[in-house]
Chain A
Amino acid sequence: MNTKHRFRKNSTGISLLYDTLFFLVLLSVSSAILAPSLYSVNIKQTTFAVNHQQTATDSLQTLLYTREDFWSYRIGGNYFDYLASILGVNVTNNTVYAITTDWMFAREQQHKNIAELLSENLLSQCLIRISKNQSYQINCFTQEYTQRLHERINQRLETILGKGYAFNFTAIWQPLKGIPFGGTLSTGEPIPNTDTYAAQRILTISYLPTITWGNQSYTLSKTTGKQLSDQIQFQNNRYLYNIDELLQSYYANGSNNQTDLLKKKIQENITGFLDEFFFTDVTTINGTILFPGLFNDIVDRLFLQLLNLAQVSLTAQIEETIGYDVILNNDLLQMASSDTIYSYLIQELINQMTSFISLIQNSSISMDNEPYIAIKNMILTFISSQTRPMFQELGNSITEYVLSLPSLVSFVDVLFQHIIDLFQFSTAYVYLTIWRTT
């Protein structure tokens, strides 16, 4: 009885209802906070990322070191196709033409892997980078090689990666850091701004330039470059002589208000020396050549070969390039007997280079006399001009470094340490970037 009264008198019932409702609201909020942490997106994403990364690494490894048992291309194949099409030959469907040109100009390799083919292709391209997105392969003899390798790598990667991935493959060989000359092979799609997974490998390029000067040969590499500075009296160079005097004066008189001017003079002399060292010849104050321009020598050799090819007899051309099979076809014999094949190729090379020069300089050059020398000089001038900002930057860096030293050191040693750091003749970089396709 009493209980019944107390129930009726109890006024907390409304409060309890509010309390319960409030509790339920807080419970919901707590669940909302806790739920994301129970479902770990981070780990899943990481797992995917690692797997994609491993795929990129493994794909690059597979691509590079899988043997191509049979591989071939034609020397100057593109140009012969062009020539044949002018003559009315259907180059795509004419089996005889395909067999004949393959027979005469094909280069075949057995059991080489893509890495070897790639490194050897990069070495043979003689590619000049005009801008970030534009480059030009000087060596027209190996353009088909580059093209076929490009196709093969593309084909292989599509097979390896399947349809789930898009890719970008890029191989770069730049024998001298900062100098836009070397070899590049890039295939695939442009790299997007989404999540990508990249793998990188170093390819050793079997190339170290050797310059013979006097009775001595100098192999230019990171390990042997020091010998060059030890054995050649570079301090007699007019730029280095100036720098030496400036530094001696600097250390003798201490820093003063003229530091900026000093830096500028040193930097200008360094740039001048680098220009001589790489492009023209390193000379003494009297004008005596101390050492030939490094890049000049490398490009010179290339053009010397072209020059020889254009000038030597047909017999020697065949002997040195395609063996003796050439005389077996009458039509080709007629071409070969009048030196048509190579004279055409050489002429085509000149035309290409002329258009290239026009492209980069908006001017034409006379090809009447010594066209090779003219082209070579123009190319060197272009590369030199492209390289100058890099040299200036390098000059600044060296100047800052030298002037920061407490006492006078051998500037030649410091300079050559920086120059040697530019050498990467035997190193190419290969990048594979992959991403998921939608």
Chain B
Amino acid sequence: MDYMSLFKDTNARIPFSILGILLLLGSSTTTVVLSTLGNERSEVFIEIHEAKYENVLISATADIENIINNAGLNAARIIGRKPVIISQITGLDAHEVNLLRIRSSIAEELHIYLQENYKNNMYNDGTYALNIGNQNDPSAFLVSSDDIKIEPVIMKIHRPFSVFLLGPEQKKNAPVYWKISLDLPVMICSIHKYERPKEYLEVLSCSTLITSRLPLLENLVYEYNQTINGLGPFWNLITLISNTYTIPRGYKHYRSGSPENIMKNSHLAPIINGCLLFEEGLVFGSVDPYALVHLIASSKKALSNKQILESDIIKKYDVTDFSISFDEFTEICTNIDTGEPVNTSIDTCPYINLTEIAQQLLFNWTEAILTFENTHNTLYQETISSPTTDTITQLIEEKQKQDHTFLTIQKGNPTFNSTTKNLIQDICSTIYSAVFSIDVQRDIDPTIFFGDHSGFPVDNGTTVWEITSITKTGYNTKPDKGFITPEVSLYSEQYTIQWERNHQWTTKKTIMQQNVTQSIWETNIVKDIKIEKNVSFSILLKEYGRYKERYNDVLDIFYRNNSLHDTNLVETLDVYNTTVFQPQLPSLYTAPSGEYHLQNISGDIPEWVESEAWMMIINLSKSIGSITQNETITSSKYPDPVVLIEKIKDDIRKQYTALLPDLMNHSQYIQNNSFFSLGKKAVFCIREWYVHLVETQYTDAFNTIGMLIDEQINDSLSTLDGPTKNQLHESLNTNFQEAIGDQLIFHLGTGISLESTNQQLTSWNENITIAVKHIPSYLDPFESVEYEGKKEYFLGIKNICALGSTGFPLLPITPTTPWLATFNLWIVQIRGSYAEFTVFDVNGESHPHPLFGYEPVVYTRKYEAIRTDAETLLGWNTRVTVSCDTVAFSLVPAWGFMVGELPNELIEHDGKMIT
């Protein structure tokens, strides 16, 4: 009954148990619903996160950029080995053709790989697949080369070392990489099971660096080719070195007659190869080691005429020894050629002294003795009297026509230079003279006694005064020592002179005559008397011992200097007195005051004066002859002969100026501005004349030499197409020693720094090390090299001795002193090429290689027609060539062995044809 009460209960009371059951059911339902909702939310969450297709877009972009890079590297591999240098495609230059090849190659390869991995949902991340192409026709999609953009990445090259004018610039901007940009249409579709099929069209903007530094290699090879052609750094270097080579050899030839062949192609060949390697080292930072080994071997062979094995060189030399001393081409080769020990020191420059100029003023060589060697190797001499440049040259040419070899020329039969002798006498005569005059001084207030004329008041004039008596009242002799100066009376006489004249006086008188009164004049003539007292007649010294601006400057003039055995013009006073004064004195009695009879009287020149003057000049010539050019002024420092001469002139002038006090030796002649004696003055003036004459002579001589050399250079260069005179001088005036030192040092491989020039992007710096290899490694003009089945010379050297076997005598001073220096000049023409010239990027080996992983980026220049796979001619690859013309000089003093080549070696041509 109680249980039924629940339903009957009207109190609306619900048992807790029912509530609990309801609660249990509700919580179970809620749990089920919430769990279901949670699972659904998780799946939605995953879908939301996986629905982003950017992931696949990003990874595909990166992957395609990698494909582009690989395609670009493959293209670079082909272009590097077969670049087009001369284009055959109309409207496109070689650079554009190569870029077109790269674009085409990238497009072709990219197309293939895109077809492989980017079709049929192949490329996916499990949610989205990325297919190449467009919605309309994905299979028809083609990558067009026109859509590929290439732009160079410019970086700043910083070479490890550089030599001004002798190499390329140390810093420059150059393309290093290529940057490729390409837009690709892609279609992205969902492939996830929870995703509704959707398609998204996107454009992939791919932009990547081609990790090959081929553009830089190409640029550097181009720069190297420019460097070794025309008037580039190679020309500067070869001009410098060939000149520093010929000058000491010429001087050695002048001294000893050997080497007979001054400019030898056998020496030029290693020099040229050395210069090429030097430029190679500067441009690329490294050189072809085989070329270096070959160069060393060839240099040794050229210098020693012994075969040197390259393997010996390799074993012998340490890394630091891979250098060639330039001395080997100047001193060593010259000593070897002259048969002297290799280590014998040799003047690297013709030391010019003033002996020639100093002595040629003293002596005449009336003969020139020329030594020849006939065809039977017998020496004989020919003598030319009163030689001139023309007669000497004529004889040498005649002998050379008979195949006789001219060896040397010597001076013969010296005589005193009569011109100089006369000049010395003239100077002495001029100095040994004095100028005198007669000075008349009258009584300015003479006493006049008029005659008595009383009654005759009218003065009717007089006659002229006439001397009636002369009475010598006294005389004076020359002043004491120390008081004889110009305008001083050296001798005088005093007189009293009486004069008379008729003086007419008149008077008027009136007389009656015939009743006519007449006036008449009566005359009374009386004698007037005038007495002059102290009328003086003096020998006045006007001047003495004049030579140019020097006069009146001798101690105790007109007094004999017994200690010096010098008359000091004493006798001239007597001469004047006896020859002028006394004879002229009567005529001067009546002369008014004044100076009369100015006359130069030559004195007696003591014998010792001239002889002392000669001895003094001879001694001076020796002193002056001891002035030689500074040893630091060498041809290696100043290879330009014009500049060399100018430097020598300046140096000698300085030395001469410094020596002047000794040369003049004033103290021996002068004290307190007065000469000890007139003879001393004469000697001094002759000394002064000689010293200044030598100075003038050598200044003129050097100026003339410079001018003549300049003319010869100009004439020789006019036959060449290449350098102008200014360019040659500019090249030669580079300070050679400062530039490259004593040695050509070859750095085998040093990195070149590359700095980013893009300020906007994060910059990066890197290094590149380049290996160089060329075929042939050594350009040999003497042996042909077989290349691709054909024997060929890869270097041609032609050296022409432009001024003949005797050279060009400079500065004909007098007919009997033919020249001061001999000058010769060689025109050197160089033509060559490398069959193959290859550079490797050895720390950027980015080209994949199936065996080694990677291989270096390579750029090769060789002669080759470049064709497409379809055999269409694109153009040609060409060889790296070397071409330049230059001149070298030799300058030696006169006489000795004249500088030049043997007649049959005036033109030396080896190897490749040079037109």
Q: A: which residues have CB within 8 A of B? A: 11-12, 15, 19-20, 22-27, 29-31, 33-34, 36-38, 40, 42-43, 45-47, 49-50, 53-54, 57, 61, 64-65, 69-70, 72-73, 75, 106-113, 115-116, 119-121, 123-124, 126, 139, 141-142, 145, 199-204, 206-208, 219, 221-224, 301-302, 305-306, 309, 315, 319-325, 327-330, 333-334, 337, 425-427
Q: Which 7 A-B pairs have the closest CB atoms?
A: A26-B20, A23-B16, A323-B771, A206-B70, A30-B27, A37-B34, A46-B42
B35 within 8 A of A: yes
On whether the beta carbons of B49 and A61 are closer than 8 Å, the reply is no
Closest-by-CB residue of A relative to B64 is: A204
Q: Which residues, 1 to 44 on B, are CB-close (under 8 Å) to A?
A: 2, 15-17, 19-21, 23-24, 26-28, 30-35, 38-39, 41-42
Taken together as a complex, chains A and B put the C-alpha atoms of A372 and B25 apart, in Å, by 82
On whether the beta carbons of B842 and A202 are closer than 8 Å, the reply is no
Which of A30, A221, A327 contacts B23, CB < 8 Å? A30
B616 within 8 A of A: no
Taken together as a complex, chains A and B put the C-alpha atoms of A142 and B845 apart, in Å, by 14
- Chain A positions within 8 Å of B69 at CB level: 112, 116
B290 within 8 A of A: yes
On whether the beta carbons of A111 and B209 are closer than 8 Å, the reply is yes
Q: List 16 A-B contacts (CB under 8 A).
A: A15-B2, A22-B20, A26-B21, A30-B27, A37-B33, A43-B38, A43-B42, A61-B55, A115-B63, A116-B70, A124-B848, A141-B853, A309-B851, A324-B290, A328-B749, A333-B314
- Chain B positions within 8 Å of A333 at CB level: 314-315
- Chain B positions within 8 Å of A123 at CB level: 848, 850
Separation in Å of the A304 CB from the closest CB of chain B? 10
Separation in Å of the A210 CB from the closest CB of chain B? 11
- Chain A positions within 8 Å of B64 at CB level: 204
On whether the beta carbons of A327 and B31 are closer than 8 Å, the reply is no
Closest-by-CB residue of A relative to B71 is: A206
Separation in Å of the B136 CB from the closest CB of chain A? 19
On whether the beta carbons of B115 and A121 are closer than 8 Å, the reply is no
On whether the beta carbons of A302 and B851 are closer than 8 Å, the reply is yes
On whether the beta carbons of B63 and A203 are closer than 8 Å, the reply is yes
On whether the beta carbons of B20 and A109 are closer than 8 Å, the reply is no
- Size range of the chain B interface in the assembly: 35 or more
Closest-by-CB residue of A relative to B210 is: A111
Taken together as a complex, chains A and B put the C-alpha atoms of A329 and B319 apart, in Å, by 7
Taken together as a complex, chains A and B put the C-alpha atoms of A141 and B31 apart, in Å, by 65
- Chain B positions within 8 Å of A321 at CB level: 852, 855
On whether the beta carbons of A305 and B24 are closer than 8 Å, the reply is no
Which of A22, A29, A42, A325 contacts B16, CB < 8 Å? A22
Taken together as a complex, chains A and B put the C-alpha atoms of A301 and B849 apart, in Å, by 12
- Chain A positions within 8 Å of B122 at CB level: 202, 427
Closest-by-CB residue of A relative to B848 is: A120
Separation in Å of the A244 CB from the closest CB of chain B? 30
- Chain B positions within 8 Å of A199 at CB level: 125
On whether the beta carbons of B31 and A33 are closer than 8 Å, the reply is yes
Closest-by-CB residue of A relative to B20 is: A26
Separation in Å of the B717 CB from the closest CB of chain A? 39
- Chain B positions within 8 Å of A47 at CB level: 45
B109 within 8 A of A: yes
Closest-by-CB residue of B relative to A34 is: B27
On whether the beta carbons of A206 and B67 are closer than 8 Å, the reply is yes
On whether the beta carbons of A330 and B315 are closer than 8 Å, the reply is yes
- Chain A positions within 8 Å of B368 at CB level: none
On whether the beta carbons of A116 and B16 are closer than 8 Å, the reply is no
Q: How does the 8 Å CB contact mask read for B391-426 relative to A, with 1 for contact and 0 for none?
A: 000000000000000000000000000000000000
Taken together as a complex, chains A and B put the C-alpha atoms of A206 and B15 apart, in Å, by 82
- Chain A positions within 8 Å of B719 at CB level: none
Given contacts A33-B24, A37-B31, A145-B853, contact A109 B844 (CB under 8 A): yes
Q: How does the 8 Å CB contact mask read for B761-787 relative to A, with 1 for contact and 0 for none?
A: 000101000011100000000000000
Decide if the interface of chain B is mainly helix, strand, loop or mixed. helix
Separation in Å of the B867 CB from the closest CB of chain A? 16
On whether the beta carbons of B49 and A54 are closer than 8 Å, the reply is yes
On whether the beta carbons of B853 and A23 are closer than 8 Å, the reply is no
Taken together as a complex, chains A and B put the C-alpha atoms of A75 and B766 apart, in Å, by 22
On whether the beta carbons of B113 and A201 are closer than 8 Å, the reply is no
Which of B62, B71, B771 contacts A325, CB < 8 Å? B771
Separation in Å of the A344 CB from the closest CB of chain B? 16
Closest-by-CB residue of B relative to A22 is: B17
B293 within 8 A of A: yes
Separation in Å of the A33 CB from the closest CB of chain B? 5
B463 within 8 A of A: no
On whether the beta carbons of B854 and A107 are closer than 8 Å, the reply is yes
Given contacts A43-B38, A327-B290, contact A202 B16 (CB under 8 A): no
Sample of 11 more A-B contacts, CB < 8 Å, known A112-B211, A325-B842:
A20-B16, A27-B20, A34-B30, A38-B34, A65-B62, A113-B62, A116-B211, A142-B853, A221-B116, A302-B850, A320-B855
Residue of B64, B209, B772, B843 with most partner-chain A CB within 10 A: B843
Taken together as a complex, chains A and B put the C-alpha atoms of A352 and B71 apart, in Å, by 34
On whether the beta carbons of B20 and A202 are closer than 8 Å, the reply is no
Separation in Å of the B838 CB from the closest CB of chain A? 8
Residue of A46, A141, A208 with most partner-chain B CB within 10 A: A46
Separation in Å of the A149 CB from the closest CB of chain B? 10
On whether the beta carbons of B117 and A204 are closer than 8 Å, the reply is yes
Given contacts A64-B62, A202-B123, contact A324 B318 (CB under 8 A): no
B667 within 8 A of A: no
Which of A20, A31, A206, A328 contacts B113, CB < 8 Å? A206
Taken together as a complex, chains A and B put the C-alpha atoms of A58 and B237 apart, in Å, by 59
- Chain B positions within 8 Å of A109 at CB level: 211, 844-846, 854
On whether the beta carbons of B49 and A107 are closer than 8 Å, the reply is no
- Chain A positions within 8 Å of B115 at CB level: 221-223
Q: Which residues, 147 to 184 on B, are CB-close (under 8 Å) to A?
A: none
- Chain A positions within 8 Å of B50 at CB level: 50
Taken together as a complex, chains A and B put the C-alpha atoms of A46 and B32 apart, in Å, by 19
On whether the beta carbons of A206 and B848 are closer than 8 Å, the reply is yes
Taken together as a complex, chains A and B put the C-alpha atoms of A222 and B119 apart, in Å, by 10
B748 within 8 A of A: yes
- Chain B positions within 8 Å of A223 at CB level: 112, 115-116
Separation in Å of the B289 CB from the closest CB of chain A? 5
- Chain A positions within 8 Å of B845 at CB level: 107-109
